[in-house]
């Protein structure tokens, strides 16, 4: 699946726990053209703790070392809760394309969170495509996201 212009690859960091491991691998395989992947793990289906993977991804986005990120766990909630502790990180749990689109248009979400145990891998790929091709609308939404950081 092609999303971006092949010559300008977007730097994306991706991470998952054991519940999201297979989906992480699938997404990387489907979007090898437009994205330059940085993989923060996990690298197998052995049980791990999701904060150990969510923190490095969120840190890279917060510090502008990656343009955007993707985080995956069983429900998406654990990695989202962890990532949103980081300054300037707006991690959005998305389970359909419309929510992914709005997360970009209204929230300027910079980390896409996927609930691996509740969506098919095909739908996940459509959500990824939608998230990374939708622009932030700015305007009143910029004022609102400016009020998120503590």
Residue ranges that bind ligand RB5, judged by CB under 6 A: 17, 19, 50, 73-75, 77-78
Least distance (Å) between residue 54 CB and ligand RB5? 10
Q: Least CB distance from residue 49 to ligand RB5, whole Å?
A: 9
Nearer to ligand RB5, 93 or 132 (CB): 93
Looking at beta carbons only, is 35 or 53 nearer to ligand RB5? 53
Question: What is d(CA 53, CA 49) in angstroms, rounded to the nearest whole number?
Answer: 8
Please tell me the distance from the alpha carbon of residue 41 to that of residue 130, in angstroms, as a whole number: 23
SS3 assignment for 75-137: CCHHHHHHHCCCCCCCEEECCCHHHHHHHHHCCCCCEEEEECCCCCHHHHHHHHHHHHHCCCC
Catalytic residues: 73, 106
Chain residue at closest Cβ approach to ligand RB5: 78
Would you say 35 and 12 are in contact if contact means Cβ atoms under 8 Å apart? yes
Q: Is 5 helix (H, G, I), strand (E, B) or coil?
A: coil
Instruction: Kindly state the smallest distance separating residue 27's Cβ from ligand RB5, in Å.
Output: 16
- Taking the complex as a whole, the smallest distance from the CB of residue 9 to ligand RB5 amounts, in Å, to 29
Q: Please, which residue, 44 or 139, has the CB nearer to ligand RB5?
A: 44
């Amino acid at each position: 699946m092609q999303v971006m212009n092949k010559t300008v690859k977007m730097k994306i960091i991706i991470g998952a726990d054991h519940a999201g491991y297979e989906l992480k691998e699938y997404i990387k395989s489907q979007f090898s053209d437009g994205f330059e992947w940085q993989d923060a793990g996990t690298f197998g289906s052995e049980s791990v703790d999701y904060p150990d993977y969510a923190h490095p991804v969120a840190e890279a986005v917060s510090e502008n070392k990656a343009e955007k990120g993707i985080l995956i766990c069983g429900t998406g909630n654990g990695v989202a809760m962890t990532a949103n502790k980081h300054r300037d990180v707006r991690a959005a749990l998305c389970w359909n394309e419309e929510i992914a689109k709005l997360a970009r248009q209204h929230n300027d979400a910079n980390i896409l969170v996927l609930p691996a145990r509740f969506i098919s891998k095909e739908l996940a790929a459509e959500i990824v495509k939608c998230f990374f091709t939708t622009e932030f609308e700015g305007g009143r939404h910029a004022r609102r996201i400016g009020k998120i950081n503590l």
